[in-house]
Chains A and B, each alone.
Chain A
Amino acid sequence: MAEAHDYKAIGTRPVRPDGVDKVTGRANFGADLNLPNMLHGKMLRSPHAHARIKRVDVSQALAMDGVYAACAGGDFPTNERTTDLAKNCMARDKALYHGHAVAAVAARTPYIAERALDLIEVEYEPLAPVLDVDEAMADGAILVNENLHTNGDASKPASNVAAIVKFERGDVEQGFAEADVVVEVDCRVPTAHQGYIEPHACTATINEEGEATVWCCTQGHFDVRSLTANVLGKSVGEIKVIPSEIGGGFGGKTIIYLEPIAVKLSEMSGRPVKMVMTREEVFRATGPTSATHCRAKVGAKRDGKITAASAWLAYEAGAFAGAPVGPGCMSILAPYDLEHFSIEGHDVLVNKPKVAAYRAPGAPQAMHAMESAIDDLARELGMDPIDLRLKNSADEGTQAPYGPVFPAIGFRKCLEATKAHPNYTKPKAEGTGRGVAAGFWFNIGMQSSAEARLSEDGTVTVVEGNPDIGGSRASMCLMAAETLGVPYDRVRTHVGDTESTGFCNVTGGSRTTFATGLAVVQACEDIIAQCKQRAAATWDIDVEQVDWADGQAIPKPGVNVDANPLSLRDIAKNAGRTGGPILGRASVNAQGAGASFSVNFADVKVDRETGKIDVLSFTGIQDAGTAIHPAYVEGQMQGGAVQGLGWALNEEYIYDENGVMENAGFLDYRVPVASDMPMIDTQIIEVPNPSHPYGVRGVGETPIVAPLAATSNAARDALGFRIADLPLSPPRVLEAIDNQADA
């Protein structure tokens, strides 16, 4: 493999190939497609957080002028194999959260559809909801699902705790006994939403043969295909999914909500049906990530050597099992090399929307707790927080808490870069606080396919199946150009639909540049192999005697042939005479997604009159393996940082006692705006991932992990005492200041 400084394309910052369409309004997003004769679908949603559905009658809605179809839970296959996701798309016998879909209509205009919802009669038997993770875990709690047993053990009574996961090593009691100092934190983090700016949207049509086509904004159209097929009881082959451009997802567009409903309404009406959520629906019925209650405890010798750490995590799953507590447990101690630890996590049902993945799902909340504890430990020991982490850091050869042994990782380099960073070496300003924290995400590989098609003029078209959520087409072009030895502008990348490219798992898990990138590189290597064969045939020599360099086939040194090099363009032009079109293909199940570590630090100022915290500066330092397009790597780091800062400082679902979200809009669920934030300084560390030809590690998720604790630690530094819970919103901070003054 070439050294980083030898790369010609990789590491440059060209304009993305889909850029012009996105700055001119041409790019088509989820809600931008309109079909002839199209209807508009709308969903009726439960006004109760928990209720038995006794009866749904859509007949009056159907009788309204301009209404063409209506459906409810009874119109979808329901049996013992019906998945939670199907029941989330449309409630069956119970509504499990406020906003749960219970019926839908399709009408000539969105306005008519909206009014028709009022004519749907639903008879509910309201039930008391369970709305908090601690309450849900208590003995005698109201049950969200009477048939759910912890870890599937039906010999135990039904419970809201769907699963308990544990990771342990050594003897944690002995480790704490050896400690000179032990600290403990107990933190609650409320529900937050991914907050993508584009609401969920889809358009569906189905013909008389039962063949459906779905256009939608999604992080993974192959998953939309299989999940929609499952909800409708159809085969995968009957459904074609065409991804639009996607207006943000952050994990929240890896599952489905509308697609099977739109297909069903299309089937009933015989016309295409478009469904677009309102922002309020997005908040009430999609996304959010788990509210959590975490306890973290860590003990160390006076010299800073950690002797033991333990964690207890409880995550709200919403109405169906599946909180990201497993990944939280995997991440919480990953930065450290520990002899003794124990981690126990709980996946807990409550009457709130089913959680979806949100950028490094589960890690920010868990690491907020542990990195707060590590910060307190550094204070108790009188150590610099970076020195404390350096003394205990994981490195190549360390066994991760979740099992595997780390190959080359960049955590120590991130810590060392922090110590040397001018933002860290400069003294903090008077009256401000500084906090640091570590971040981690394991990243995933999984399945991807790619084709590289050589056009007759020597340009290359790459086709792969991962929706481009933040510049991945540019990264694919750069890796293809590097592999083929041609300029960036000779390659275009297209995102194919489910029928025009091979299977790809979702754009998620920070896998696209790693796994789909690997498939693209291999597809280009396939092109090179075929080009070498064509050149060998042209020159009448053995293919082993042909080299590929700088985008052309050349005879190997010492091969006695009188031949000029054959460029990609030459070979393409003559392809018809040398064997036909040249098409490179690859499909992979990518192994060895390199773990990604970060260190973040923030300087904050607390207004003691109002409780408002201002972030004065923020620095993210992260191992990217190899930054294919450094500007988009920085963009991931900056965007993740600001999402994390929003979570730390302001964002939370506020519920009333009936389980109704009171702030379901961007005015009251306040994500950061430009005037809230400083510039976000970044430093990319490059410790190449040995499992990728160019050393790529996923970079998208790690950036959101450390900001929660970095902010909390900075506020601790500024205030002189810790506020363990998030967000550090003005009312909470002001109350804590007042309580501190009273104490």
Chain B
Amino acid sequence: MSRVHVTLSVNGEPREMLCEAHQSLLDALRDELGMTGTKEGCATGDCGACSVLADGRLVCSCLMLGVEAEGMDITTIEGIAQGSELHVVQRKFLEAAALQCGICTPGFIVAAKALLDQNPNPDETTIRYWLAGNLCRCTGYDKIVRAVQDAAQELAYEA
């Protein structure tokens, strides 16, 4: 089967990849670009472990085809920290012990960053509904919600 040449930007860097027509963006990122930080939990759009930003919009990369990413800016978990500086959401996840096994963490961090990018001061209910597309089976969500609240507070303090 012939493969499709895709040109895109990943974490600000121009990239090219050859995708099977049926290959999800998740599989293309992991298998063609070797970027395994984005995780598969279900491949049906139910768990959010594969969350990435596509032109700034939060999506499940398992529900997008790799070929659909042609010309897009994709942000993955590998692009959230700036150089050696963790993003405030990453730092607060660590400080608040908001991860146990860590498999859902990349998806939660990408999703939480997307929330704070558009709403720097969300209340608890907003955080919970925004993150309702990301499953965590370890934490019961308490410390994740608090980490996002802490991150929002720090961003507000810095602003």
Chain A residues proximal to chain B, CB less than 8 Å: 13, 15-16, 18-20, 22-29, 31-32, 34, 109, 111, 194-199, 245-250, 276, 278-279, 469-471, 629, 631-632, 634-636, 638-643, 665-667, 671-677, 679-680
Q: Is the CB of A665 within 8 A of B42?
A: yes
- B residues in contact with A109, CB < 8 Å: 20
How far apart are the CA atoms of A632 and B102 in the complex, in Å? 13
* Contact (A23, B93) CB under 8 Å given A198-B41, A638-B143, A674-B144: yes
Cβ-closest 3 pairs across A and B? A25-B37, A247-B103, A642-B140
Which of B90, B127, B135, B142 contacts A666, CB < 8 Å? Answer: B135
Minimal beta-carbon separation of A106 from chain B (angstroms): 16
Asked whether, in the complex, the Cβ of B94 is within 8 Å of the Cβ of A31, the reply is no
> Most chain-A CB neighbours within 10 Å: which of B36, B125, B127?
B36
Pairwise interchain contact B101-A248, C-beta atoms closer than 8 A:
yes
A469 to B36 alpha-carbon distance, docked (Å): 19
Separation of A666 and B133 alpha carbons in the complex (Å): 11
Residues of chain B within 8 A of A198, CB atoms compared: 39, 41, 101, 103
Query: Which residues of chain B come closer than 8 Å to A27, judged between CB atoms?
Result: 102
Determine if B101 and A196 form an interchain contact, defined as CB atoms under 8 angstroms apart. yes
Q: Across the interface, which residues of A come within 8 angstroms of B44, CB to CB? A: 279, 665-667
Given contacts A25-B78, A247-B102, A631-B143, contact A20 B137 (CB under 8 A): no
Which of B38, B93, B94, B140 contacts A638, CB < 8 Å?
B140
- State the interface size on chain B (CB cutoff 8 A): 60
Q: Please list the residues of chain B having a beta carbon within 8 angstroms of any beta carbon in chain A.
A: 20, 22, 30-31, 34-44, 46-47, 49, 76-78, 80-81, 86, 90, 93-97, 99-106, 109, 124-125, 127-129, 131-146
Q: Is the CB of A639 within 8 A of B37?
A: no
With contacts A29-B39, A673-B132 taken as known, whether A470 is within 8 angstroms of B138 at the C-beta atoms is yes
Q: With a CB–CB cut-off of 8 A, which chain B residues contact A635?
A: 97, 100, 138-140, 143
Interface SS of B by simple majority: loop
On whether the beta carbons of A675 and B128 are closer than 8 Å, the reply is: yes
Q: Which of B102, B103, B139 contacts A639 (CB 8 A)?
A: B139
Taking the nearest CB of chain B, how far is it from the CB of A675, in angstroms?
4
Nearest-neighbour CB distance to chain A for B108, whole angstroms, equals: 9
Q: Are A471 and B76 neighbours in the complex by a CB distance under 8 Å?
A: no
A24–B86 touching, CB < 8 Å = yes
Given contacts A29-B39, A469-B101, 8 further A-B contacts (CB under 8 A): A24-B81, A25-B36, A31-B40, A197-B135, A248-B137, A470-B100, A638-B143, A675-B131
CB of B45 to closest CB in A, whole Å: 8
In the complex, the answer to whether A470 meets B101 with C-beta atoms within 8 Å is: yes
- Chain B residues with CB below 8 A from A642, complex form: 139-141
Q: How far is the CB of B138 from chain A (nearest CB, A)?
A: 5
B100 pairs with A632, CB closer than 8 A: yes
Q: What are 29 A-B residue pairs whose CB atoms fall within 8 Å in the complex? A: A23-B102, A23-B105, A23-B106, A24-B80, A25-B77, A29-B39, A196-B137, A197-B39, A197-B103, A199-B41, A247-B102, A247-B103, A248-B101, A248-B103, A279-B46, A470-B100, A471-B100, A631-B96, A635-B139, A636-B100, A666-B46, A671-B135, A673-B133, A673-B135, A674-B145, A675-B128, A675-B132, A677-B128, A679-B142
Give the residue name and chain of the B residue nearest to A640 (CB). B140
Residues from chain A with Cβ under 8 Å of B136 in the complex: 197, 674
Residues of B within 8 A of A26 (CB): 37
Is the pair B20, A639 in contact by a Cβ cutoff of 8 Å? no
How far apart sit A675 and B145, CA to CA, in the bound complex (Å)?
10
Name which residue of chain A comes closest to B44, CB basis: A665
Are B103 and A23 neighbours in the complex by a CB distance under 8 Å? no
- Whether the pair B97, A16 counts as a contact (CB closer than 8 A) is yes
